Chain A
Amino acid sequence: MGWQLIRGYALLVYVFMFLPVAVVVLLSFNASQFGSFPITGFSFRWFIELAQNDAILRAFRTSMVLGLLTALISTTLGVLASLALVRYRVPGENVISTLLIAPILVPEVVLAVALLLFLNFLGINKSFALLLFGHVLFTLPFVILVVQARLIAIRRDVEEAAMSLGASPVQTFFQITLPLMLPAVLAGALFAFTISFDDITGTLFWKPGGVETVPTQIFAMLRNSISPEINALGTVMIAMTVGLPLLGAAIARTISRKSGV
């Protein structure tokens, strides 16, 4: 009896969480003029219009470039930082570690305003580079957390064995350490990409005038009217932010199954 109640309650919570998402996906295939019920027919019309909307395409390109660069830079920095923190004795290790993780703990608005004020203080103007910098700042902790956890699990003696067999430290890194932590590196990169791709708070503060990412574009469009295109865009976003990590996890699993890590 008690369990029935809890089960019913849990179901309601899920419905509450996922119903709006389902509605958006459903309506994006609605042939009707208006982005709302009733559903009058199945159609890809809004996706086609989406693909012809220059503003959205530009925003999409910006988001892709921003996301990819963020993923690239965050992952590179994150891997290097994790290596330093896990494999070497660095003075002030704990402090550095905390500082690198801190951006997750600080509310994003605070981080956004702080960075903006700081750059104002330095007399630096908003730019795409600044936007990228901001995104790297708050995706880096995720990369570090994932990669560090993996690196700790890679036994040091495996690397020592490689060196004893004649591999230099650099060769050992590329032959042994990197392949062993590759699943975590890929996961970190995916995290960074998806977080950057659907971020809005920081982006609103940091983006220079005239530059829009997909989330800020949706936000701007919503101010005028609720166009059915937004539903289609929402569906695309969902497909990307849910699909990419799933794909990544599947790839990582295949890699590690093959090698038995």
Chain B
Amino acid sequence: MSSVTLQNVVKRFHRFTAVHEVNLEIPDGAFVTLLGPSGCGKTTNLRMIAGLLDPTEGEILIGGKRVNDVPIHKRNLGIVFQNYALFPHKTVAENVAFGLKYRDVPKAEIAGRVQKALDLVQLPDVGTRYPKALSGGQQQRIALARAIVIEPDVLLLDEPLSALDANLREDMRVELKRIQEQIGVTTVFVTHDQSEALAMSDRIVVMSAGRIEQVGTPEEVYNTPASEFVASFLGASNILPARITGQDADTVHLEDPLFGAVPVPAAKAPALAGASRAKLVLRAEKLQIVAAGAPTPGMIAAPAFVETVDYQGQTVRYFVRVGNTQMQAINMIDERPYAQGEAVQAAFRPKDCAALPES
């Protein structure tokens, strides 16, 4: 197991820059997710760590050693590909044993280690089968077994769950996390799915257009987004322009045209020193729709109209109009959802807000 470090890494394809000056430190044993929309450079980053692409500029270190000139087959990495990439002409056991052949593992030991890896992914009995005789989810587990049986320094996974159907994906998510914790391998996971990232990661690296937008724990990136992009990419957010009326040790006082004064906790409003304007960020789940005229203790409320009701069973998503601004609210359903056209109040607790500098 090893840490992974990217220093000023740039990747250009001809004139197009896919990755801009990325600096990233992935600690030993951590589960780090690269999260971002399609085309933002996640795979490019991962392939540079793997040695499948050469960085145009910058250094890549694995376990503190520069690996820019080390070819992929000497890097001791486990890679799990989106489409499994199992060897179709080899049995499952041969697939899993493949990496051991190149590692001076005594012949007698190979079968045992293969079996242990198959046990770990909970498919102990499929060794003699060919990959095509397995379901997608099983193939993905075998791909994982093949990658970890070699005890890699780093495990790299590129959207490994995206080819699975929804139910299976959630099971595999839990499974993958369990296995990673059990073997403690440094893991770099690539996904465009925010719920995967939030559920599995020790740290999330949010990327956009080849740049890192924010690095933090799931709570940090979710509750204290560092940019408007992060706020809107991780779940639905309402972003309102606001004026800064004052700052003290633990509160930043904002003034918003719709809701009036909003005191935001300073911890959730970093990087605002000296600014006069800011953006107020309020997650859709934190915006409560309450009946018109009902008391809203401890909350800031404004009158609103329900424009659209998107019923989702346990929860409901409202689009409401507050003044001339449309806002989104995702609420648990109490008795019945509010109806379209109903006059309501939109309310929130100031401590649920975050503030961003106006860019």
Q: Are B73 and A166 closer than 8 Å at their CB atoms?
A: yes
Number of interface residues of B (CB under 8 A): 33
How many angstroms between the C-alpha atoms of A132 and B119 in the bound complex? 56
The one of B52, B79, B131, B143 in contact with A260, judged by C-beta atoms closer than 8 angstroms, is B131
Q: Using known A-B contacts A168-B73, A261-B89, determine if residue A157 contacts B102 with beta carbons closer than 8 Å.
A: no
Q: Are B73 and A167 closer than 8 Å at their CB atoms?
A: yes
Min C-beta distance of A124 to chain B, whole Å: 44
Q: Are A176 and B131 closer than 8 Å at their CB atoms?
A: no
On chain B, the residues within 8 Å of A165 by CB distance are: 73, 98-99, 102, 146-147, 150
Q: Using known A-B contacts A164-B73, A166-B73, determine if residue A158 contacts B85 with beta carbons closer than 8 Å.
A: yes
Interface residues of A in 232-261 (CB under 8 A from B): 259-261
Q: Are B88 and A261 closer than 8 Å at their CB atoms?
A: yes
On chain B, the residues within 8 Å of A168 by CB distance are: 71, 73
**Residue A162, interface by CB 8 Å:** yes
Q: Apart from A162-B87, A180-B88, A180-B89, what 19 extra A-B contacts exist at CB < 8 Å?
A: A157-B85, A158-B86, A158-B88, A160-B50, A160-B72, A161-B79, A161-B143, A163-B71, A164-B72, A165-B98, A166-B101, A166-B102, A167-B98, A171-B102, A176-B87, A259-B88, A260-B88, A260-B130, A260-B132
On chain A, the residues within 8 Å of B284 by CB distance are: none
How many angstroms between the C-alpha atoms of A176 and B90 in the bound complex? 9
Min C-beta distance of A153 to chain B, whole Å: 11
On chain B, the residues within 8 Å of A161 by CB distance are: 79, 81, 85-87, 143, 146
**Residue B180, interface by CB 8 Å:** no
How many angstroms between the C-alpha atoms of A157 and B52 in the bound complex? 10
Q: Using known A-B contacts A160-B81, A165-B99, A165-B102, determine if residue A260 contacts B73 with beta carbons closer than 8 Å.
A: no
How many angstroms between the C-alpha atoms of A144 and B85 in the bound complex? 25
**Residue B15, interface by CB 8 Å:** no
**Residue A155, interface by CB 8 Å:** yes
Interface residues of A in 16-59 (CB under 8 A from B): none
Report A's interface with B, CB cutoff 8 A.
Answer: 155, 157-158, 160-169, 171, 175-176, 179-180, 259-261
**Residue B218, interface by CB 8 Å:** no
Q: Using known A-B contacts A160-B79, A260-B132, determine if residue A167 contacts B85 with beta carbons closer than 8 Å.
A: no
Min C-beta distance of B10 to chain A, whole Å: 21
The one of A162, A169, A259 in contact with B98, judged by C-beta atoms closer than 8 angstroms, is A162
Q: Mark B97-116, 1 if CB is under 8 A from A, else 0.
A: 01101110000000000000
Interface residues of B in 44-73 (CB under 8 A from A): 50, 52, 71-73
On chain A, the residues within 8 Å of B85 by CB distance are: 155, 157-158, 160-161
Residue on A nearest B90 in the bound complex, by CB: A259
A163, A167, A169, A176 — which one has the most chain B CB atoms within 10 A of its CB?
A163
On chain A, the residues within 8 Å of B98 by CB distance are: 162, 165, 167, 175
**Residue B77, interface by CB 8 Å:** yes
Instruction: Report the 6 A-B pairs with minimum CB-CB distance, sorted nearest first.
Output: A166-B102, A165-B99, A259-B89, A260-B132, A157-B85, A161-B85
Residue on A nearest B80 in the bound complex, by CB: A161
B52, B82, B89 — which one has the most chain A CB atoms within 10 A of its CB?
B89
